[in-house]
Structure 1
Amino acid sequence: MTKTLRPAVVLFAGLTLLVGVVYPIAMTGIGKVAFADKAEGSLVVRDGKTVGSSLIGQAFSSPQYFWSRPSATGPMPNNAVNSSGANFGATNPAQVDAVKGRIDALKAADPTNTAMIPVDLVTASGSGLDPEISLAAAYYQLPRIARERKMGVDQVRAMIDQLAEHPVMGLFGEPRVNVLALNLALDKK
């Protein structure tokens, strides 16, 4: 029995040390060197104060700010601890009511805007943590932001275009803009 138990215990201890200690420490070290910003949470600091993360969405509700994509995380929006979607189908009454409510909020914030509302402003993502919105969603909100901040529409459009992120290698992903970066740039003006 000792002949078979001893190698099993030694193998178990060795693999536990290798996979449970050495590998995580090595990967953390490589991550901190190769991807320092992302490994530390991509925290955004302004005036010595952490104001958010460029990887996790934030809820903005003031009309002078660009609004993020809705979040379905609970118990509060954009809760990184509870990343999840609502899992509602397109015809689910709760989903239909949520979308109608979001449409009503957008129309109330900018009653003169008659443009079609981009889908990412009224539907939550699978993770509920999207930090970006489509360029269409940013352009939809542009008249409200310009009016609230007493800026020219062209000036706000230029900020959107300057901060826009384009598909990786022109193929992967959609054109988008980080809402936190955009709102911080607006505050800086």
Structure 2
Amino acid sequence: MNSSLQPLDDGRVLRGSVALAAATLIGAGLLYSLAGTGLGRVLFPAQATGSLVERDGVIVGSALVAQPFADARYFQPRPSAANYDPMAAAGSNQARTNPDLRKRIEETAATVAARDGIAAADVPAELATQSGGGLDPDISPAGARVQIARVAKARGLAPDVVAKLVDEHTRGQQFGVLGEPRVNVLELNLALDAAR
């Protein structure tokens, strides 16, 4: 019986497979990544390099990543489940019903209340809870306002001077509709240093 099927040439199949693998690796693994990185640097140059903030030619932080401030003269960011480490960015992943989470929130609220001289019930939620990524650089205007008296006293400034800086550094909703008004803690603290 005569068949019209030809036997496979193993060398030809192997060459084709290797060529497809190489084209996929170079195209998707290299060229696509380079194009995405290049396009990002052109369209969003500051964000593509980490939104680094400089003061006097020295990088002092990133506008997109929270960092702790130990001195009472500075506004404080949200607590961080990642201990402000960008390589370990994560939330606590504890459920709202978890008793450990509730205890930690109560303890954090009490600490913030004592630090800023307010009642624990007046502590804005974001100053007692961690963000999902653990590195949120912004706080709400209410979170900034409860810190004004402490910062003003520590700096020897009138509270209305500090309040004006908070107002100047409060951003509205993105595109006028997304999110909530917010204050970038690093930028506000740098403005305070510049206002001495």
User: Is TM more than 0.5 here?
Assistant: yes
**22-31 vs 132-141, which deviates more?**
22-31
SS at match of 1:177: strand
Residue 91 of structure 1 corresponds to which residue in structure 2? 97
Residue 59 of structure 2 corresponds to which residue in structure 1? 50
Residue 43 of structure 2 corresponds to which residue in structure 1? 34
Residue 185 of structure 1 corresponds to which residue in structure 2? 191
1:122-162 Cα deviation digits (max 9, x unpaired): 00011001000011101111121122222222211111111
Residue 15 of structure 1 corresponds to which residue in structure 2? 24
Identity %: 41
Question: Looking at CA atoms only, which structure, 1 or 2, has the larger radius of gyration?
Answer: 2
Q: Which of residues 59, 70, 83 is equivalent to 2:68? A: 59
**Aligned partners of 1:90 and 1:12: how far apart in 2?**
47
Instruction: Please give the root-mean-square deviation of Cα atoms over the aligned residues, in Å.
Output: 1.4
Task: Note the C-alpha offset of 1:56.
Answer: 0.3
Task: Note the C-alpha offset of 1:163.
Answer: 1.1
Residue 3 of structure 2 corresponds to which residue in structure 1? none
* TM-score between the two structures when normalised by the length of structure 1: 0.92
Residue 3, structure 1, aligned to residue 12, structure 2: yes
**119-128 vs 39-48, which deviates more?**
39-48
Q: Which runs of 5+ in 1 are unaligned?
A: none
The amino acid that maps onto 1:133 is I
Number of residue equivalences:
185
* TM-score between the two structures when normalised by the length of structure 2: 0.89
The answer as to whether partners of 2:116 and 2:146 remain within 8 angstroms in 1 is: no
Q: How does 1:20-169 map to 2 (within 5 A)?
A: 20-73=29-82, 77-111=83-117, 113-114=118-119, 116-169=122-175
**Aligned partners of 2:124 and 2:191: how far apart in 1?**
23
**Aligned partners of 2:99 and 2:70: how far apart in 1?**
25
Moved over 4 A (4+): none
The amino acid that maps onto 1:2 is G
SS at match of 2:136: coil
**Aligned partners of 1:35 and 1:125: how far apart in 2?**
25
